[in-house]
Amino acid sequence: MLKDYLHKIKLCAACPKMCRFACPVAEVEKKERVTPWGKSLTALLVLEDNLSYDDPDVVDTFYSCCMCKRCKSYCLVDDVDIPAMIQAGREEIAAAKKEPEEIKIFLENFKKFNNPFGKELKLPPHPSLSPEGRGLRKGGSKKEKINLLDKAGQGYGIFSDCCGFPLWASGYTEDARGFMTKVKEAFLSSGARKIIASCPACAYMLKSIYPSLGFGLSADVLHIAQFIDSAIKDGRLHLNKKSDIDTVYHDPCFLGRYLNIYDAPRNILAQTAALKEPIKTREYSNCCGAGLYHFRSKAARKVTEIAVENIRQTKAKQMITACPTCKRIFTEALKDKITVKDLTELV
């Protein structure tokens, strides 16, 4: 509940806004109420009954967040977590049925197709999850990921249903629980000892949110970058010949700021490409804007443009990321000007 964050909200609302220019939404919207400070102040006023979810601007404020956690990289107060507060507020808004119409449509599409894309997804032929296998979570260039596991001699099965993260992040926690129950049962019955997630948000959801909501998994959860890094060190995977193409790496929000995985992708890239770092990198990396597209597509595109400019400034010919959503966003934004690849395509 939002009131659980009251102390943190008060700390943030009284701050001189050190994170003001770290928030991608505030940068493109130019509104104080959508800054991290503005969000906390709005939350405080809601808790003090000076504002309510009946006000469209209040609801808009809670949904004007990518949940990228970039504000935290600039925050000097250890106890403040804006995305967690935002998610708690969204839960209350959704429970009161005050969420934006765009979010309601998103929920309907999600329930229809069991994924956030609003359409049926097609997987290449793959083994199903079984007691002998491992779990490979969803995302992006599935053929590359399947081939990669084969190359590493890794027994595996694929569970392709959504983990429920988009529902949880949108405030529909109760709806997400249905997906979480199904996922937990599937992994428990399979006897899988490891879950390899290609999507950083999935990895975070399975590793952190599932246990916090009573859906803890017995298997270890890894992002696929960690698996590749380990498999290379163990001699189970061999890299392609090193390329001399100038390559820039983009840190996905959930892989970096949420899971603190920065070195594994770079260990791989250092052996496969002429790696260049953008000006804003690691914990200060730009958000691609994906978390905003379901509600504020126009603002999301502007957020993407800022991230694209950070990549262009490196003058690299190739961009690598370790998130299927980031890859999709940057591929569409960069067109054919810079080649965009998933990390798994280099192995």
244-292 pLDDT, tens per residue?
889 999 999 999 999 999 999 999 999 888 899 999 999 999 999 999 9
Instruction: Return the amino acid letter for 334.
Output: L
CATH number of the 135-232 domain: 3.40.50
pLDDT band at 130 (very low <50, low <70, confident <90, very high): low
pLDDT at 138: 40
Indicate if the pLDDT at residue 100 is higher than 60. yes
Which part of the chain is CATH 3.40.50.10700? 239-346
What count of residues does the chain have?
347
pLDDT band at 74 (very low <50, low <70, confident <90, very high): confident
CA distances from 58 to 52, 217, 231 (A): 7, 36, 48
Provide the whole-model pTM: 0.90
**With 0-12 CB in 10 A as exposed, 13-18 as middle and 19+ as buried, what is 332?**
exposed
Q: Which of 321, 317, 294 lies closest to 115 in space, CA to CA?
A: 294
Q: Which of 211, 116, 229 lies closest to 162 in space, CA to CA?
A: 116
**Percentage above 90 pLDDT, the chain:** 59
pLDDT band at 132 (very low <50, low <70, confident <90, very high): very low
Q: What is the mean pLDDT of residues 36-48?
A: 93
Largest CA distance in the chain: 62
Across the chain, what does the average pLDDT equal?
Answer: 87
Pick the CATH number of 239-346 from 3.40.50.10700, 3.50.50.60, 3.80.10.10, 3.40.228.10: 3.40.50.10700
Q: How far apart are CA 63 and CA 134, in angstroms?
A: 36
pLDDT at 287: 96
pLDDT at 95: 95
Q: Which residues of 35-50 are buried (b: 16+ CB within 10 A; e: fewer)?
A: bbbbbbbbbbbbbeee
Q: What is the mean pLDDT of residues 152-156?
A: 77
Indicate if the pLDDT at residue 140 is higher than 60. no
Q: How far apart are CA 122 and CA 315, in angstroms?
A: 35
The dihedral sign for the CA sequence 254, 335, 64, 89 = negative
Q: Which of 51-55, 149-153, 179-183 has the lowest mean pLDDT?
A: 149-153
Token readout for 282 is 């690691």
